[in-house]
Amino acid sequence: MNSSGSLPVHTPVLLHEAVEGLRPWPGGYFVDCTVGLGGHAEAILKRISPSGRFLGIDVDADALRIAEDRLKKYGVAVTLVNEKFSNLKVVCIKYHFYPVDGILFDLGISSLQLETAQRGFSFQREAALDMRFDFRQELTASHIVNDFPERELARIIEEYGEERQSRRIAHLIVYNRPISTTLQLARLVEQALGGKRSRIHPATRTFMALRIAVNSELQSLEMALKQTISLLRPGGRLVVISYHSLEDRIVKRFMHCEASSRLCPSEAMVNHYGHTPTLRLISRKAISPTSLEIKSNLRSRSAKLRVAERLN
């Protein structure tokens, strides 16, 4: 919350499309795996009240406190849990929240996290190299930058940041260790790239790669998606909003594999029989924000939303 005690301004991405995709109804049970500041949650609760129930999960305790304040008017209909969504099924079982009518993921980083300098996510603000969503974990961006071997550092930057100059960046980082702040790292990356400027800051991909590695974002997403199948009731909806190609690739592959009667490559190695589809694709193509939304909320420009429905 800001200094006046009011809730921070929050503009949920693809709000209308996400809610329509979920189809929340009075009395339904819905899960938001990345409740954040509670924008999508509030829209869902308006639809499912007064008899519905909502479970909000977030690994970021700071965001969860803001969501709690925003959603307190819904009382006992709301359960908020500070946990990783990779533990989705464990949380649902613990709170007797299954089967459910809809599950939402709004992936990536929030504006609150970017704008809070001490979190270390932004290359535009001086801060320690942290980048943790969850302060309870030990691994930070500083550990990766200062302790990982050069080859592993280059792999992370190339694989998670899709950065072509990953080896050059990693070499310069290792040569200049120790690196203690975000701005110091950003300047090194810019130096490694020869000061070249494009439409995005030279450090964007490297910072994204480190954030993904610190929080095991892609591995957690894969784990969580697999758990949704057993939690959704027939007709229940799965809605995922992603913000970069690596996330969207995982979501698209998962939904298409679960909607297919053919085996996915990983399954074919251990299963010689056909695959029984568990999902139906509501739209084969990802839904993107309108030009009007992008104009009013620049963060939405790279968003892609995918929807699938649980089969009987």
Element (H, E) at 245: helix 245-258
How far apart are the C-alpha atoms of 37 and 240, rounded to whole Å?
17
Q: Is 10 part of a structural domain of the chain? A: no
Check whether 292 has a pLDDT greater than 60. Answer: yes
The number of folded domains in the chain is: 2
Residues forming a β-bridge with 281: 308
Cα diameter, the chain: 62
- Using CA of residue 104, residue 110, residue 112, residue 113, what is the dihedral sign? positive
169 and 39 in one domain?
no
Q: Is 6 part of a structural domain of the chain? A: no
108 and 27 in one domain?
yes
- pLDDT tens digits for 134-151? 999 999 999 999 999 999
240 and 91 in one domain?
yes
User: What CATH number corresponds to the domain at position 133?
Assistant: 1.10.150.170
171 and 102 in one domain?
no
- pLDDT tens digits for 174-232? 999 999 999 999 999 999 998 666 678 899 999 999 999 999 999 999 999 999 999 99
**What residues make up the domain containing 78?**
15-112+217-310
Of 215, 244, 270, which residue is a domain's last?
A: 215
Of 215, 233, 262, which residue is a domain's last?
A: 215
Of 161, 195, 215, which residue is a domain's last?
A: 215
Q: Give the strands of the sheet with 304-310, arranged side by side.
A: 78-82, 53-58, 29-32, 100-106, 232-242, 304-310, 279-281
pLDDT at 200: 83
Q: What percentage of the chain has pLDDT greater than the value 70?
A: 92
